[in-house]
Chain A
């Protein structure tokens, strides 16, 4: 195993009086994809925000030297008439990353973003297009780790499929390490190398294919969830 890109030790996060995360330990090797699962309110988003340094925490979060983070937040609720176009956002992010127009064009092409997404106000873009715009923006700073918080939420099935394929392709072709919060267990089963489950009572961490047992899922979600595997893909039934 290569040197870990991320090492988390005894991590704890409090929001006000509430202890959202505690005694969390896991590590991630370069190029791996980690899925973070768990019921609503179990602290998945809090974990990602702690990892990017947006929340104070106890314990340790150690990123390997040379790590550059790209972050996709949970579904943003932007006003439809916000006068910021897709191009405005990409140009702003390119300027912050210190790259130029050629890099924007390259990111747009790599993500397969169409012209309309650049011209229209960002608040009017369909969910899938907006997420692709955010991923293109994240790529401008040449990240080697991508943290995604439910990137497929609120997107139709074909759009979800394309988005998951895109993220998987970035991981395979560019050796990107990914940390993704997901509610879709079949996606987790298909794409993730490692899975971190945040339950109300307990947490678990391990390889996706062996860690996700029906007993564990019932324990984490508090309801029976069966995962049927055919031909390497999985379908879930709650």
Chain B
């Protein structure tokens, strides 16, 4: 592997670790549909950025942050319809986005592109991954208590609504981080599959974090290297690797 490829892989590993961590709470908070659908909202952002000749990832990040605010707003207004609204809004976003981009660009945006990163891109990627990891590890206590009961969290001094917003923003940032490697169609699954595997083994929170990060990183390394050797989009190979690990985890019977 060349030096730029090694750099790209190192950033991918940081991204995977962040996805594994935030994914633990996304899964436990039953946000699996939101995770998958929300990544779609990045596509119109990428399309618009390409039209304006701006950095596509910047466009994606902007749209994702708007998406996070949108979900947060919807959740605060109504509890029941959230998943339905997310399903509708984000499918429409995918449709709109695919009319804005075309050809090779569209395929790369959908499935992730192999290739190299500029120096500042690599730095920004590592910094953003560190930010997400720091958020999860620092806020784990508030997140856990809120998960068990938002009312208990409230009486423990947690600002639950603000915590929800921060969580969604960290979540959106994680998706933006992974877009280059997995694309809008597949990034959601790197947030969901590793914790789904972890949950079959872990009996406490530290175990959950460790398993989830390990699975996310392993799938990303195996998938990226395979895709690079085959000269294909990396997203499908990463998700197939994660899926294979999930398949293996099914062999273990829970007591």
Contact = CB atoms under 8 A, between A and B. Distances in A.
Given A71-B151, A93-B145, A85 B156 contact: no
B249 to A, nearest CB: 12
Interface string A103-124: 0000000000000000111100
Contacts of A97: 156
Given A88-B204, A141-B156, A95 B151 contact: no
Contact of B154 (A53, A121, A137, A141): A53
B148 A96 contact: no
B148 A84 contact: yes
B203 A137 contact: no
A49 interface: yes
A120 B204 CA distance: 8
Interface stretch (B67-75, B119-127, B136-144): B136-144
Given A89-B145, A91-B141, A83 B156 contact: no
A93 to B, nearest CB: 6
Contact of B157 (A85, A91, A96): A96
Chain A, interface size category, equals 20 to 34
A121 B206 CA distance: 12
Contacts of A81: 199-200, 254
A134 interface: yes
Contacts of A35: none
A121 B155 contact: no
Nearest to A80: B254
Contact of B145 (A53, A85, A92, A119): A92
B208 A92 contact: no
Contact of B148 (A52, A53, A78, A119): A78
B202 interface: yes
Interface string A63-84: 0000001110100101001111
B51 interface: no
Given A85-B204, A88-B204, A137 B152 contact: yes
B145 A76 contact: no
Given A82-B28, A92-B141, A76 B149 contact: yes
A71 B205 contact: no
B148 A122 contact: yes
Interface in B24-65: 28
B38 to A, nearest CB: 22
A78 B30 CA distance: 12
Contacts of B115: none
A21 interface: no
Contact of A54 (B145, B154, B204, B205): B154
Contacts of B145: 89, 92-93, 96
Interface string A19-48: 000000000000000000000000000000
Interface in B218-236: none
B149 A85 contact: no
Interface in B181-212: 198-200, 202-205, 207-208
Given A83-B207, A85-B205, A92 B140 contact: yes
B130 interface: no
Contacts of A76: 148-149
A71 B144 contact: no
B245 interface: no
B158 interface: yes
A83 B158 contact: no
Interface of A: 49, 52-54, 69-71, 73, 76, 78, 81-85, 87-89, 91-93, 95-97, 119-122, 134, 137-138, 141
Interface of B: 28, 140-142, 144-145, 147-158, 198-200, 202-205, 207-208, 254
20 contacts: A49-B151, A52-B155, A54-B154, A69-B155, A73-B149, A73-B152, A76-B149, A81-B199, A82-B28, A84-B28, A88-B204, A92-B144, A96-B141, A96-B145, A96-B153, A96-B156, A96-B158, A121-B203, A137-B152, A138-B152
Going nearest first, the 8 A-B pairs with the smallest beta carbon separation are A92-B141, A83-B202, A85-B204, A83-B208, A95-B141, A71-B155, A92-B144, A96-B156
Given A84-B147, A96-B145, 8 more contacts: A73-B149, A83-B203, A83-B205, A84-B28, A88-B204, A96-B156, A134-B152, A141-B156
